[in-house]
């Protein structure tokens, strides 16, 4: 998550059942997630709309980032369960009320993303996805992380996701963003 306006507006649009979200799986973590990008916002937001704090699990595939996540002060503060693995081949247990993949679906190939959509369908989880709308060139040399998939309205429509597009007026003059969700 980040501190752009699309985060709270997306949660407002999806109208999810916060009490159902006892366990939340967040896919992907970068050292900037809890710092520069204000990524702990979603934890605070979800917990502020529940009677009891949700249990948060974060899966990260890049081992150096996973190690940093394990030792991050907010991991301890929020009692986050850290999982070393890749969502592509991770056998997701059907225990999550909500799965969030925020600014992450574009980091896999379109074929891998479609396989994840199929995997998500088998779960009784609400799904929330977000990322850049259209082509967005990004490559982080230290981790090898890069954007491999172009997120479009059609891609999400083909898997029956609802979506909302946020243009530059919501994103501090950054490129457009698309949020997509499917509630069970």
Q: Where exactly are the structural domains of the chain?
A: 6-14+29-182
Q: Would the pLDDT of 37 be above 90?
A: no
27 pLDDT band, cuts 50/70/90, is: very high
Residue with tokens 């059907």: 94
- Report d(CA 176, CA 174) in Å as an integer: 7
What mean pLDDT is predicted for residues 115-142? 87
Can you give the pLDDT at residue 171?
52
pLDDT at position 34 over 90: no
DSSP 151-167: B-HHHHHTTT-EEEEE-
Report the percent of the chain where pLDDT is more than 70.
Answer: 90
Confidence of residue 139 (pLDDT cuts 50, 70, 90): low
Quick check: helix, strand or coil at residue 149?
coil
Q: Beta strand pairing status for 162-166 and 177-182?
A: antiparallel
Residue 1, pLDDT score:
46
CATH of region 6-14+29-182: 3.40.50.150
- Residue 172 confidence (pLDDT) above 70: no
3 state SS of 57: strand
For residue 169, the model assigns a pLDDT of 58
Residues 20-37: what's their mean pLDDT? 91
Contacts of 7-10 with C-beta under 8 Å, sequence gap 24+, read: 7/41, 7/42, 7/45, 7/102, 8/45, 9/164, 9/166, 9/170, 10/128, 10/130, 10/164, 10/179, 10/181
List all residues 6 or more positions away from 66 whose beta carbon is below 8 Å from its beta carbon: 29, 60, 82, 84
Q: What is the pLDDT of residue 4?
A: 62
pLDDT band for position 173 (50/70/90)? low
Residue 14: is its pLDDT beyond 60? yes
Question: What φ, ψ does residue 164 adopt, rounded to 5°?
Answer: -140, 140
């Amino acid at each position: 998550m980040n501190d752009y306006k699309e985060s709270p507006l997306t949660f407002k649009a999806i109208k999810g059942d916060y009490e159902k979200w006892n366990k939340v799986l967040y896919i992907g973590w970068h050292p900037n997630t809890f710092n520069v990008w204000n990524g702990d916002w979603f934890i605070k937001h979800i917990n502020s709309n529940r009677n009891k704090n949700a249990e948060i699990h974060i899966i990260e595939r890049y081992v150096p980032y996973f190690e940093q996540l394990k030792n991050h002060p907010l991991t301890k503060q929020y009692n986050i369960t850290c999982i070393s693995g890749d969502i592509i081949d991770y056998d997701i247990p059907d225990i999550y009320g909500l799965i969030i993949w925020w600014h992450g679906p574009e980091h896999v190939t379109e074929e891998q993303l479609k396989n994840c959509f199929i995997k998500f369908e088998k779960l009784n989880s609400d799904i929330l996805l977000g990322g850049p709308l259209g082509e967005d060139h990004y490559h982080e040399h230290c981790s090898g992380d890069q954007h491999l998939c172009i997120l479009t309205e059609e891609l999400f429509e083909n898997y029956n996701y609802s979506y909302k597009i946020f243009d530059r007026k919501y994103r501090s003059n950054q490129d457009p963003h698309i949020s997509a969700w499917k509630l069970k």
